[in-house]
Amino acid sequence: MGESTNRAALVAGVFFIAAGAVFLLESLEVLELELRVLAPFLLIALGVAVLLGGRSRRPSG
Amino acid sequence: MSGATPVPPVEPSPPRRTGRLLGGLLLVVLGGAWLLESLDVVEVPWDALLPGVLIAVGVILVVNARTGASQGGLIALGVVLAVLAFLTAAIEFPFGGGVGERTEAPTTLAQADEGFELGIGQLTVDLSELAGAGNGRTVVRARVGVGQLVVLVPAGMPVRVEGKAGLGNVRVFELEEGGIDIDLTTEPPDGAAPVLDLRLSVGIGEVRVERG
């Protein structure tokens, strides 16, 4: 099939949904985030996103 | 007039067009909200709005990812939103505070009670001419998102200070602490009742309290 998946967009989308949910829960005071935890977590998450999204437009199979 | 066959316009693929449309719409909405807050028309709940928009961008990306179309613009928008949401959550960034170098010198308690804030830059709050600060405790709040917050207090006046810095340092007279999530509280010496109660914070940068 000619259809392909934009893997970078998929990974970025999942990352943004997860990050948005965490920030939303923080704003609703369900979670309490501290900069000392949040900053390295964000860096790790971005690194994982870069690694997983490195090969974009892979065939969806 | 020539008789050449007109070339049909190239239509962008539907997913890309949808992504671009929604991305542009989100930018317009965010910019409009920011503008209205800067003009003191409304107070925007950024701490909830930004994550909501970030989730929306994520959903659009996941839905459009199956088509294989390029989503670079939306990804860039998501990164910007993620950084802004991070700043809002981690350091309570004052979006309506503006940018630049500003000096505030309140002379009445009513002016001091309004509080002071700056988004990015240097904010100096000069309390040395504050009149009527001898009658009870006066709470003064000031915060800077990224930059430096300098507060000048009258010489000899008992002062209580709560200084916070997400990332940076807090210096209150001779005391100084630096690092991440700094929270430095000082009480007046000799148990004197504080006349000025300063609640100061900076997201990234420095809080400095000096005698004026």
B182 close to B169: Cβ distance less than 8 angstroms: yes
Question: CB–CB of B146/B98 below 8 Å?
Answer: no
CB A26 within 8 A of CB A20: no
Establish if A40 belongs to a structural domain. yes
Nearest to A16 among B82, B91, B180 (CB): B82
Q: Are B162 and B145 in contact (CB under 8 A)?
A: no
* A48 part of a folded domain: yes
Determine whether the interchain pair A4/B75 forms a contact, defined as Cβ–Cβ distance below 8 Å.
Answer: no
Per residue in B101-140, pLDDT (tens digit) is: 999 998 888 888 888 989 889 999 999 888 766 667 788 9
Instruction: Collect all residues of chain B within an 8 Å Cβ-Cβ radius of residue A12.
Output: 58, 61, 71, 75, 78
Instruction: Decide which of A37 and B99 is more confident.
Output: B99
d(CA A42, CA A39): 5
User: In A, which residues are within 8 Å of B52 by CB distance?
Assistant: 20, 24
Tell whether A45 is within 8 A of chain B (Cβ): no
Lowest mean pLDDT among A21-35, A47-61, B117-131, B195-209: A47-61
Domain boundaries, chain B: 14-91, 96-211
CB-based contacts of A9, cutoff 8 Å, min separation 6 = A56, B61, B62, B64, B65, B71, B74, B75
- Is A45 inside any structural domain? yes
Average pLDDT over residues B3-30: 66
Q: Where are the beta strands (DSSP E) in chain A?
A: 4-5, 58-59
Domain assignment of residue A50, given as a range: 30-55
Q: How many domains does chain A have?
A: 1
Which amino acid is located at B72 in the chain?
G
Of B59, B19, B71, B74, give the one whose Cα is nearest residue A56. B71
Condensed to tens digits (0 to 9), the pLDDT of residues A10-25 reads 888 888 998 899 888 8
Those residues of chain B whose CB sits closer than 8 Å to some CB in chain A are 45, 47-48, 50-55, 57-71, 74-75, 78, 81-82, 85-86, 88-91, 166-167, 180-181
